[in-house]
Amino acid sequence: MKCNVGGIDRTGRIVIGIVLLLVGLATPLDMIWRVVVLIVAAIALLTGIVRFCPVNAIFGINTCEREGKG
C-alpha cells in the first residue's frame, strides 16, 4: 500500500475520528446511529493512522508529501 494520505488530510481524519468516537460513546443516540457514527469514526481513524485510503486510490487522489514512501 502506497501512502496516499498525508499532512492536513491525515490530521483531519484523526481529529474527526476521535471526535466521532467521543460522540458515539458519550451521547444518547439510537443504537443504529451509534453504530453508524462508530463505524465512520473507525474508518477515519484507521485511514489516518495507516496513511492509506482505498477511496483516494480509486480516484487517484494523493495528499502524501513523500511520493512513493509508506
DSSP the chain: ------HHHHHHHHHHHHHHHHHHHHS---HHHHHHHHHHHHHHHHHHHHT--HHHHHHT----SSTT--
Alpha-carbon distances of 68 from 1, 4, 63, rounded to whole Å: 9, 9, 11
Considering the domain boundaries, does residue 1 fall inside one? no
Q: What pTM value is reported for the model?
A: 0.86
Query: Could you list the residue range(s) of the whole structural domain that residue 51 is in?
Result: 7-59
Overall number of domains in the chain: 1
Q: Is residue 17 part of a domain?
A: yes
Confirm whether 39 is domain-assigned. Answer: yes
In a domain, 2, yes or no: no
* The three three-digit cell numbers of residue 61, written as one number: 487522489
> Is 65 contained in some domain?
no
Find the mean pLDDT for residues 2-25.
95
The three cell numbers of residue 25 are 460513546
Q: Is residue 70 part of a domain?
A: no
Tens digits of per-residue pLDDT, 31-65? 999 999 999 999 999 999 999 999 999 999 999 88
| Mean of per-residue pLDDT scores for the chain | 92
